[in-house]
Structure 1
C-alpha cells in the first residue's frame, strides 16, 4: 500500500538547506571527515540494497558530479567487494570531480569497479546498459540541484523509468525538490529511497509521495548534532500509527453526551450524497450524536441509509438556528452549492460562533467574501479551493504546499488542512504537520466528504482542531489503504472507506474498559 510505504522514521522534517547545514556542521565543527560521512552513507545504502534485493542481478549505478555521485561510486565499490556484478556509469565527467566525490571515484576504481562514461557510449551501448541490469542505483542529482534536470540527466531519468527495473534512490530521487516535493521536470521513480542525516520535507508531500517509494532513514551517527547545529524543522511527519494513541479513552460508564453532537450542514438539490457520506463517517468515528441538515427531499434517503443519524430538511437558513444551538461542532460545505440555499446556510454557520469544519462549497463561497479570521474553525481545502481562497493558481499552491497552507492559516486563522498526497496541516504559530502516504484510489468524488465528517467527529471528541485534523487525515488515509486491499484502487468508493473505519478504531482502542450493560443512554 502506498499509504504505508515508510519504515520507522523520525517525526521532524527539514529543508534541504538545513540538512546540508547540518552536514557542514558535522564536518567543520564536530570534526568528522566528509569522506567518512560519505562512506557511512554508502554503507547504509548498500545494507538496504541487500536487505530489499538480496539477489539483485547486475547493478547499474548512475553517478553524478557531486557528493550524491560520490555516494554512488562507493555503493558500486561495496557491491564489487561483495562479488556483485556492477555496471557503473559516470553521468558527469569524472575528471571534473572534486573533494570527497573525487576520492570516492578513485576508491571505486581501486576496488576494481569499471566506470563507463555516458558520453562515450553510443545509442546501442546505452540501450544495452539498461537492458541487462536487474537493479538501478540512482546517485545522479542530490539536494543541491534545483529546477528541471538538464541533459544528459533528463535522458538518464527517462531511461530509468522506462527500464522496468526497481530503483534504489540515494538521498532522494533525482529531479525531485527535497524541500517542496515539486517535480519541475523529469524525476526518477524510485522503489526505495534511502535518505540521510535528517528527513527532508519534500519526500513526504506533493510529488515526493509519488516518486520516493518506501523511504528509509539513516542518521549516520549524527542524531545529536541536528539540534546543536541550530537548524530548525519546518514540519512534523505523522501517520495513523503515530496519532492513534491520542484517541479518547472510553470508560465503562461512557454515554453519548460525552462525545459531542456534530451537525452536518450539507446537500443542496442534486448533492444529497455528500451529506450522507459526511454524516455516516461522523457516526462511524465515535461522535455521540450526529444531525444532518439538508434539503427536505433528501431526508428519506438519509434515514434509510443511516437511521442512527437525526435528519432535518431545511428550506431556508433561518431554520438552522435551533439545530446550531444544540450542536457542539458544525460541519458545513459538502454539496451545499453556491446558490441562495448554500449561502444562507453558511451565513448562519459562520455567525453561530460554534467550532466549525468548513469544506467544499463553503470554502468556495468564502473565497468570494472578505476574509474573516477565526480561531476555532478547521478549513479542509483541496488545491483548487486553496487557490481560490488565496487568489492564486493551483500550480502556485502545489509549488509550495507548506508555504501555501501556512499562508491560508495566516489569512483565515484557525487550522487549515490542505488535501492531496502528503496532506499538510497548519495552525498559525505551530509547526506544520505532514501526513505521510498517498493512495490513488482516493481520486474520486466523495472522499473529501468522508474526511469532513471524520474531522467534525474527532473535533467534537478531542476539542482541539490541530489534533483532530491530524487524526482525521491519518485515519482517512489508513481507511483508504485498508479498503483498497480488497477493492483495488480503480473501484474504491467512499462508502468502502467508511466500512473500514470501525475496524481501524477497534484495533487502536485502549484496552481496559469493560462493557457495562447499564451504561450508554
Structure 2
C-alpha cells in the first residue's frame, strides 16, 4: 500500500548520542517539560498514522520500558480518544516503568486504553492480538539499544515481520542501530518511521532503508535548540531533488569544449562492456566529449553502441599519454583487470596527476600496493573493495559506513564515495554526505560502471570533486528509480539506467538552449 504523507526532511543527520544530548538540552536548559515533549511526539506520530492509513482497522501498539514505550502508550491514548479500536501490549512489564514513561502509561489507562501485560498472556493470546490487527505500532526499543534484542522483544519483532499488515515505527524500528544503520539480530521492518528531535543517520545508510520504510520527521519545535545545543551532526543527508539545482544552466551559446573532455580507461579482455557502459553514461550525463581507451577488439562494438564516443584501442600503457594530455578528467578502473594491461594503464593515469575517478580494478590494484594520497582523485569503492583497501572484513565496513569512508579519505585523500544503500561521500574535514534512498534493482553487474561514467562527466563539467560525487550518486539513483517504474527491479539493467539519465536531467534543466543557440567548436 503506497503511503501518502508527502513531506520534506532536514539535511542534518545525527548519532543516537547526539540526539539524546539535544533532547536533554531542550529539557534541562530550555525548560521544556519532558512529558509535554513526549505528548507532542505521540500526537505527531498519531497524525502521521491517520495520514498514512486513514482507516487502519484495529491498531496493535507494542510498548517497551523506556521513553519509546511512553510514546507508544500516548499514541494508543490518542487513538482511543479518536474512537479507534486499540490493543496495547506491555512488552516490558509496566512495573518497570519510571519517569515520563510511567506517566504516559498511567495517562493511557486513564484515557481508556486496555493495556495487557505480555508476560500474562499465552502464545495463543498473543497470536490473536496480531491476527486481529490492521496496523501495528512499534514502540518497543529506542535509540539506547545497540545490540541484538533479547526476548521477549525478539519474538515480538519476528511477529511484526511475519504479520501481513504494515508496521509504523515510533522514532526508530526496534533493533536498528540509530547511528550506523546496522542490525545485530532481529529488527522491525517498518512501512514507515516517524522520528523526532533529530534525524538519525542509521535510518539512511546500511540496512536503514530496508527496515525504516518511509521516514517522516517531526522536530517538535526544537529546530533552533538543536543547533544551540552544540551537537555536531554526523553527516548531511542529500538527494537528487535537493542537489539538482547545482547543475548549472547551459547558456544558449554553449559549445562542447565547456563541458569537459572525459577519458574512460576501461575494458581489458572479457570486460569490454564495462568501458562501453561508462562511456555512454558519461555522454548521457552531459560530458562535452568522451574518449574510451580500451582493448583493440572492443573498438568496433563500442562505436556501434555509442558512435558519439571517440574510441581508441590500446595494447600497451605507453600509448595512453597522448589521450591523457587531451582529457580534463580520467575515469580508470571499470573492467581493466589486475593483469599487466590494467597495471600499465593505472600507472599512466596516476603519474599524470590529472583529476581522476578510480573505480573497480583500479582500487583492487591500489590495495595490493602502497598508494599515494592525492587531493584531486575520487575513489568509488563498494564495501568489498573498501575492505581490501583498509585490510579489514566487509562486515567491519558495513558496521560503520561513515567511519569507514572517513578512514579511507584520511588514508588516500581526495573524495571517497562508498557505494551501497545510503552511499557515503567523505571529503575534506567537512561533514560527509549520505545519499538518501536505495533501489534493489541496482544490485546487478555494471551499475558501478554507469556511476563511474556519470561521475567523470560531472567532475569534468563542474570541476568540484565533492559536489560531483554527491550529485553523481544522487543522479544515478534517481535514474534507476525512474527506470524501475517501467522495468521493475528484477529486470533492471545498467542500460535502462543510462537511458533514464536524459529523462531525469531534462526535468531539472532550467531553460534549455535552442538548437540555434548551441554552437560546435
Using structure 1 for the length normalisation, give the TM-score.
0.98
Change (3 A) 1:44 1:405: same
Distance 2:414 2:28 in 1: 42
Answer yes or no: is 1:287 the counterpart of 2:287: yes
Offset at residue 516 of structure 1 (A): 2.1
Q: In structure 2, what is the equivalent of residue 414 of structure 1?
A: 414
- DSSP-derived class of the 2:451 partner: helix
Q: In structure 1, what is the equivalent of residue 22 of structure 2?
A: 22
Change (3 A) 1:228 1:193: same
Alignment of 1:149-168 (within 5 A): 149-168=149-168
Alignment of 1:486-501 (within 5 A): 486-501=486-501
1:19-64 per-position Cα deviation (integer Å, ceiling 9, x unaligned): 1101111111100100000000000000000101010000000000
Offset at residue 510 of structure 1 (A): 1.2
Alignment of 1:300-311 (within 5 A): 300-311=300-311
Distance 2:399 2:519 in 1: 52
Answer yes or no: is 1:369 the counterpart of 2:373: no
Q: In structure 2, what is the equivalent of residue 91 of structure 1?
A: 91
Give ranges in structure 2 of 5+ residues lacking alignment.
none
- DSSP-derived class of the 2:357 partner: strand
- DSSP-derived class of the 1:224 partner: helix
Q: In structure 2, what is the equivalent of residue 299 of structure 1?
A: 299
Q: In structure 1, what is the equivalent of residue 68 of structure 2?
A: 68
Change (3 A) 1:143 1:245: same
Offset at residue 511 of structure 1 (A): 1.9
Q: In structure 2, what is the equivalent of residue 330 of structure 1?
A: 330
Change (3 A) 1:44 1:5: closer
- 8 Å contact kept, 2:254–2:518: no
Q: In structure 2, what is the equivalent of residue 170 of structure 1?
A: 170
Give ranges in structure 1 of 5+ residues lacking alignment.
none
- 8 Å contact kept, 1:253–1:520: no
- 8 Å contact kept, 2:252–2:517: no
- DSSP-derived class of the 2:29 partner: helix
Q: In structure 2, what is the equivalent of residue 136 of structure 1?
A: 136
- 8 Å contact kept, 1:62–1:138: yes
Q: In structure 1, what is the equivalent of residue 246 of structure 2?
A: 246
Distance 1:230 1:68 in 2: 24
1:492-517 per-position Cα deviation (integer Å, ceiling 9, x unaligned): 00000000000111110112644425
- 8 Å contact kept, 1:248–1:461: no
Change (3 A) 1:310 1:119: same
Answer yes or no: is 1:261 the counterpart of 2:261: yes
1:295-325 per-position Cα deviation (integer Å, ceiling 9, x unaligned): 0000000000000000000000000010000
Distance 1:96 1:306 in 2: 67
Answer yes or no: is 1:50 the counterpart of 2:50: yes
Distance 2:144 2:36 in 1: 20
Distance 2:512 2:343 in 1: 47
Offset at residue 463 of structure 1 (A): 0.1
Change (3 A) 1:54 1:139: same
Offset at residue 209 of structure 1 (A): 1.1
Offset at residue 518 of structure 1 (A): 6.1
Distance 2:120 2:45 in 1: 28
Change (3 A) 1:352 1:190: same
- 8 Å contact kept, 2:169–2:193: yes
- DSSP-derived class of the 2:381 partner: coil
Alignment of 1:169-248 (within 5 A): 169-248=169-248
- DSSP-derived class of the 2:189 partner: coil
Q: In structure 2, what is the equivalent of residue 81 of structure 1?
A: 81
- 8 Å contact kept, 1:59–1:134: yes
- 8 Å contact kept, 1:275–1:292: yes
Q: In structure 2, what is the equivalent of residue 460 of structure 1?
A: 460
- DSSP-derived class of the 2:312 partner: strand
Q: In structure 2, what is the equivalent of residue 102 of structure 1?
A: 102
Distance 2:28 2:116 in 1: 33
- DSSP-derived class of the 1:141 partner: coil
- 8 Å contact kept, 2:250–2:512: no
Q: In structure 2, what is the equivalent of residue 40 of structure 1?
A: 40
- 8 Å contact kept, 1:206–1:420: yes
Q: In structure 2, what is the equivalent of residue 320 of structure 1?
A: 320
Moved more, 65-74 or 363-372: 363-372
Offset at residue 248 of structure 1 (A): 2.0
Distance 1:177 1:299 in 2: 49
Alignment of 1:469-480 (within 5 A): 469-480=469-480
Change (3 A) 1:341 1:512: closer
- 8 Å contact kept, 2:5–2:52: no
Distance 2:119 2:422 in 1: 38
Q: In structure 2, what is the equivalent of residue 398 of structure 1?
A: 398
- DSSP-derived class of the 2:320 partner: helix
Offset at residue 373 of structure 1 (A): 0.3
Distance 1:219 1:118 in 2: 32
- 8 Å contact kept, 1:268–1:341: yes
Q: In structure 2, what is the equivalent of residue 388 of structure 1?
A: 388
Answer yes or no: is 1:507 the counterpart of 2:520: no
- DSSP-derived class of the 1:54 partner: coil
Change (3 A) 1:300 1:6: farther
Distance 1:138 1:518 in 2: 56
Distance 2:481 2:301 in 1: 28
Offset at residue 227 of structure 1 (A): 1.4
Distance 2:61 2:19 in 1: 24
Change (3 A) 1:310 1:115: same
- 8 Å contact kept, 1:6–1:215: no
1:344-384 per-position Cα deviation (integer Å, ceiling 9, x unaligned): 00000000111000000000000011131000000000000
- DSSP-derived class of the 2:384 partner: helix
Q: In structure 2, what is the equivalent of residue 432 of structure 1?
A: 432
